[in-house]
Structure formats: structure tokens, C-alpha cells
Amino acid sequence: MKHYEYTPKGVCSSKMIFEIDNNIIIDAKIIDGCPGNTLGITKLIIGKDIDEVINLLEGIPCRMKPTSCPDQLAKALIEYRKTQ
């Protein structure tokens, strides 16, 4: 199992923390941001393959911003993939 931390850019959340095993998200936490949304997102991605999560969340905007917490989560997983 691998531990990975990511600092998102352009959103309210300040850190994303993952535990990943064989490309499956075992645990995830999003620090700060909208509590209900970030908790909901993490519960939905646990047990999923990182490529599936990237495909679902990449490119989602937030209001007038070109990114969002889900988009940043996808970017975090893309960066994680580069370390493998």
C-alpha cells in the first residue's frame, strides 16, 4: 500500500491524502473545502480504480473557476501515476 499526499491549486481544500494499493484507492481524505462535498467525494472513490476516478472527475469546474475539488482530485491521481 502506498501513501500519497497532494496540495491542490485554485480550490478551497488544502491537502488531499490517499492510500492506494494496486491502483485501487483504499482510503482518501480531503482537508478543508466544503465538508459535505469533500466527505461525499472520498466515500464515493474508496474501492475504485484510480483510472476510473480520473475519467469521472477530470475537468469538472466550480462556478466560474476552471477547476474544482473533484478536478484537483483527478489531477492528484494523475500525479500519483507519474510516480509509479
Q: Answer whether 0.75 is exceeded by the pTM.
A: yes
**Domains: count for the chain:** 1
**Ramachandran angles phi, psi of 80, nearest 5°:** -60, -45
Residue 14: give the domain boundaries.
2-82
Q: What was the pLDDT predicted at 25?
A: 98
Tell me the CATH number at 15: 3.90.1010.10
Q: What was the pLDDT predicted at 84?
A: 86
| Short-list 60, 52, 51, 58, CA closest to 74 | 58
Where are the strands (E) in the chain, listed by range? Answer: 2-6, 13-21, 24-32
Where are the strands (E) in 7-47, listed by range? Answer: 13-21, 24-32
Average pLDDT over residues 52-71: 95
